[in-house]
Chains A and B, each alone.
Chain A
Amino acid sequence: MSFANFLDYHHFPVYSIMVLFLGAFLIVLFGKNKFMRNLLAFLAVSISLACIVALVKPVMLDGEIIAYWMGNRAVAGGYAIGIALEVDALSLFFALLISTAVFVSGIYSLQYMEHDNNVPEYYTLFLMLSGGVIGLVLSGDIFNMFIMVEILTFAAVALTAFRNKAHGALEAAFKYLVVGCIGSTCILVGIIMLYAQAHTLNFAQLSAVIPGNMNNATKLAFALLFVGFGTKAFIVPFHPLAADAHGAAPASISVLISGVLTKSGIYGLIRLTYFLFQTMNLGTFQFLLVFIGSVSMFVCVTMALAQHDFKRLLAFHSISQIGYVLAAVGLCTGLGFSAGLYHAMNHTLFKGLLFLCAGAVLHQTGTTNLDELGGLSKKMPWTTGLFLVGAFSISGLPPFNGFASKWMVYQAAYQKASETGNIGFLFVTLIALVTSVLTLASFVKVSQSVFFGRLPAKYENVKEVKGGMIFAMCLFAILCVVTGLFPSAVTKYLTEPAARAVFSVVNYIDAAMGTGYAASAMGENLPVVASFNFNELGYWSPISWLLILCIALLAVTIVAVSGKYDKVSESSEIADSKYDLFFGGEKSVYSQVGGGDLFWGFKHNWRHYFSFMHDLHSGIVNDYSLWAIVALAIVTLFIQIVL
């Protein structure tokens, strides 16, 4: 085998997973040396990213589906025995955003973790987690998916408890472990039942065999797998775990839990419903996904409004945004699916940015409690600016990326409502729009309570974070702006190929099993390709808008500055009552309106809802396990009834 053979892009999926695990192993060996471990970690994440990026052209643009058999053990006798990686545009899309998040988070960790103990262990777990997630999305074999789920779950649990001296870290990890194990067990049992029925573990072959031969066992397997991957995506009712885990983990890990782990859950759900069981043609199943999505969206955003901790607030927002993704994906239209993937990507970017900002605040002040912080914009101008980019993106202010994807979600839901004549989908648009405003509200809350408002005396000496961390945040911020400014390019080159891949299951099966396998195995049951129309209801051209805004802003600024707008009187060092804040004539004292003081009118009108939610989220792991079991029971019944 010549050297050029190694550089064949068909090997790249394996490399991208392998370097991460290899890096984890090497850091255990050589991690005592700081330079060595930083270098190894950096190399691992960047090689992995490079491999994934190199695959964009063949898979996304040329539409090739890479089916890679480990050790060349390909299909024999109609059965796929070997371990397979199968990379279609959907897998690659998720792998791309995951490896981007991993790369940026890795860069951020270099400086963020330098004051912690046990940093080699941190990097080992970090790379295991990353490798697990990328392995999960690239795998073409359902049992390997389970193995990767286990790897990433245990790495994530260990990382959640990494700062185990901090309050609540061990408890959060324990909760995550218990409920995560319930999820993993569901997946394992589901896989066993599928194997008993179909005698194969290859995803493509299962997708060909199962849909035509549904019986009670496969239905139960479906319910188990659905709940299992739902746990990984932290959708309602598994959201309290996310809040605890994000809050306790180091910020660079929160980025991965929020931006990457939840995505792997969503990926699993998509593979299940669109490929393995092909149930998305049923209106009832669309309803299930859209319903769970809408509930997640709304419940978690209201939970976020009530939070007093920066990172917990962000954690609930993660689930809220995942709700958007799930609802959009559940619409089962080309526009909806594309919008969902677009939002998934944007969520990784802006939520990553926000978690890094929270990490920066934690790194410099030692707390993320919204009731204690305030006025940091004067001390940390970079972090503030980058936070605002993230906040505008997530609350969907144009021209940032959150707007473009949310706008597509609204359109998709409204269009679906109009096509099917079902008024229920209309309420998805309504809930999504109201959720968006509530998201804005909670980020106004964060900016008032952390970055603006009054600076407490104890934070007088706070400094801006170091350049490396700012650089990592800037990467995310630039991506947020770019993906927001070129929505048509993003949809055309990234989300639309991925969406098309989902709507052509036959190609996926044939790529692994050989051309014609799907037709022969499925016979008349060949999946009906859902309509892939891309009619948008409105129009939005961010570039021109931004151009006009810039001209307008320039004009205003020129007029204002020539009118001596910036000629202001500022306080010198001497305390002068003129520059005090107005306190009704009293001497200006420290008084910060932030945290729980905000949005009283809203909270008052919703007080019964909030107190109900407060009672419901008891924080007891037994309760959450019970929720998981009840959710499993409901999903099982639902699937038993509708299929």
Chain B
Amino acid sequence: MMTIVLTALQYLGYILIFPGFLFCFVIGMLLCGIDRKIVARMQKRVGPPVLQPFYDFFKLCGKETIIPAAASKTTFLAAPLVGLAALVVLQLFIPIHGFSAFSGMADIIVILYLLLIPAMAAMLGGAASGSPYAGIGLSREMVTIIACELPLVMVLLAVGKVVGGDAVTFSFSKIANYQLANGSLITHASLIPAAIAMLLIIPGETGNHPFDTAEAETEICEGLLAEYSGAPLAVYKLTHCVKVLTLTSFFAALFLGGIGTGIVVVDALILVAICIVLTIVSISFVHAITARLKIEQVFKFYWTIVTGLALISLVLAWYGL
């Protein structure tokens, strides 16, 4: 009896504290704060404090929540919560140097689909607000997802082929174990284009510059979020931060596994460091040096250049190079 309670408490701890909510909340916000700071520094600005996303979050929590008369209330309010919860659950499945809170439950293809849930929730929430700006935002968000999906799938298949050899795999734990034994996959020559492609996919999936057409504040009034205010908006902002963490740690698990000590706390810190570096490389640098693309340019970019990189990797991996 005692052990059952303890196990339950342990899993609850996983869900609520580490690597669940609290971890996601704090580190995700931190990553976004660092991102904003780095972009500012690259533009020769002082930039906001690193804790700025926390301030934004708590401020929004204290604001009034207005529900437009045209909105469907239940969907409008429930969508952000579902999106956030799904994303946090997704984070639980991503292994941290061999440590995985819930192993053997979801493989990389499942992760691919779980990543769609927050986007789907945001789209339905936006659609439920009734705003035409949200309609345009929804259309663009969906096109961005379609654009990212093809190269992302190719990257995952290439990784599965390299790890599994003849017995290809979608299993996360096999990928983690392979990297523990053979070193990080990024050192594998055939996967270097895939890693670059994945770095370019991260800003697209999170909706960061220059691929933030769906939430373009100057042309379509924040798109999907046009009618959100107060606490639901805060949840969306939080979801975005967590998504940055999720995607960077997904990258770390795919390509930078095998870096760690075996002590969970140290490994978590290493993961945070890796995530910070990845955020700076894939989000901040790209943000600072580009202007927002048009949606058809986003689509074209992903289905030509990024897909090309991923395809090179896939073919190389297929023929065992």
Contact = CB atoms under 8 A, between A and B. Distances in A.
Given a CB threshold of 8 Å, the question of whether A touches B is answered with yes
Interface string A374-399: 01011001001000100010001110
Interface stretch (A60-68, A248-256, A592-600): A592-600
Contacts of B166: 418-419
A552 B89 contact: yes
B142 interface: yes
A552 B138 contact: no
Interface string B142-176: 11011101100110010011001011111100000
Contact of A601 (B69, B85, B298): B298
Nearest to B104: A539
B150 A540 contact: no
A582 interface: yes
Given A452-B124, A552-B21, A579 B157 contact: no
A554 to B, nearest CB: 9
Contacts of B75: 377, 452
Contacts of B67: 568-571, 579
A392 to B, nearest CB: 8
A454 B69 CA distance: 10
Nearest to B143: A601
Contacts of A599: 139, 142-143
B312 to A, nearest CB: 14
A407 B109 CA distance: 7
Nearest to B304: A605
A541 B160 CA distance: 20
Most A-side CB within 10 Å, residue of B140, B170, B230? B170
A113 to B, nearest CB: 30
A109 interface: no
Interface stretch (B27-35, B113-121, B183-191, B276-284): B113-121
Contacts of B82: 553
Select the residue from A535, A548, A600 with max chain B CB neighbours within 10 A: A548
A593 B66 contact: no
A440 to B, nearest CB: 7
A423 interface: yes
B259 interface: no
Interface stretch (A151-159, A223-231, A332-340, A430-438): A430-438
A569 B154 contact: no
B153 A430 contact: yes
B68 A581 contact: yes
A545 B105 contact: yes
A440 B143 CA distance: 11
B160 A605 contact: no
Given A426-B318, A437-B146, A582-B221, A548 B102 contact: yes
Contacts of B235: 556, 560
A397 B221 contact: no
B298 A569 contact: no
A593 B139 contact: yes
A139 interface: no
Contacts of A438: 146
Given A447-B124, A555-B21, A557-B81, A579 B68 contact: yes
Contacts of B16: 555
Contacts of B112: 433
A258 interface: no
A80 interface: no
B135 interface: yes
Contacts of B107: 537-540
B120 to A, nearest CB: 6
A600 B315 CA distance: 31
Interface in B1-56: 12, 15-16, 20-21
A56 B149 CA distance: 40
A200 B319 CA distance: 50
A441 interface: yes
B303 A605 contact: yes
Contacts of A591: 132
Contacts of A604: 296, 299
Contact of A537 (B68, B114, B169): B169
Nearest to B294: A601
Question: DSSP majority for the A interface?
Answer: helix
A3 interface: no
Given A398-B114, A430-B153, A452 B128 contact: yes
A584 B221 contact: yes
A35 interface: no
Interface residues of B, number: 91
Interface string A541-562: 1001100110111011100100
A565 B77 contact: yes
A549 B85 contact: yes
Contacts of B314: 426
Interface in B275-312: 294-296, 298-300, 303
B318 A398 contact: no
A588 B129 CA distance: 13
A592 B140 CA distance: 16
Contacts of A419: 166
A115 interface: no
A455 interface: yes
B201 interface: no
A537 B72 contact: no
A418 B164 contact: yes
A444 B135 contact: no
A375 B70 CA distance: 8
B105 A539 contact: yes
Contact of A453 (B130, B168, B296, B299): B130
Contacts of B61: 563
A437 B145 CA distance: 8
Contact of A582 (B65, B81, B226): B226
A459 B131 CA distance: 18
Contacts of B132: 454, 581, 591-593
A99 B102 CA distance: 40
Which has the most chain B C-beta neighbours within 10 Å: A414, A440, A552?
A552
A460 interface: no
A21 interface: no
Contact of B143 (A430, A453, A541, A602): A602
Nearest to A548: B89
A563 B238 CA distance: 15
A437 B149 contact: yes
A143 B283 CA distance: 65
A580 interface: yes
A411 B104 CA distance: 16
A602 B130 contact: no
Contact of A440 (B68, B104, B120, B153): B120
Given A569-B64, A593-B139, A455 B70 contact: yes
A550 to B, nearest CB: 9
Given A377-B75, A551-B15, A599-B143, A580 B69 contact: yes
Interface string B194-219: 00000000000000000001000000
A578 B299 contact: no
A566 B73 CA distance: 10
A571 B130 CA distance: 15
A538 to B, nearest CB: 3
15 contacts: A407-B110, A441-B142, A452-B127, A537-B169, A539-B171, A548-B102, A552-B86, A560-B235, A567-B65, A568-B230, A570-B67, A570-B69, A579-B68, A582-B131, A597-B139
Given A398-B113, A540-B106, A604-B299, 14 more contacts: A418-B167, A433-B149, A444-B138, A538-B110, A548-B102, A557-B81, A563-B231, A569-B67, A570-B73, A579-B68, A579-B69, A582-B226, A600-B296, A601-B296
Interface of B: 12, 15-16, 20-21, 61, 64-70, 72-75, 77, 81-82, 84-86, 88-89, 92, 102, 104-110, 112-114, 116-117, 120, 123-124, 127-133, 135-136, 138-140, 142-143, 145-147, 149-150, 153-154, 157, 160-161, 164, 166-171, 213, 221, 226-227, 230-232, 235, 294-296, 298-300, 303, 314-315, 318
List the 7 closest pairs (A to B, CB-CB), nearest first. A593-B135, A538-B107, A538-B170, A601-B295, A452-B127, A552-B85, A553-B85
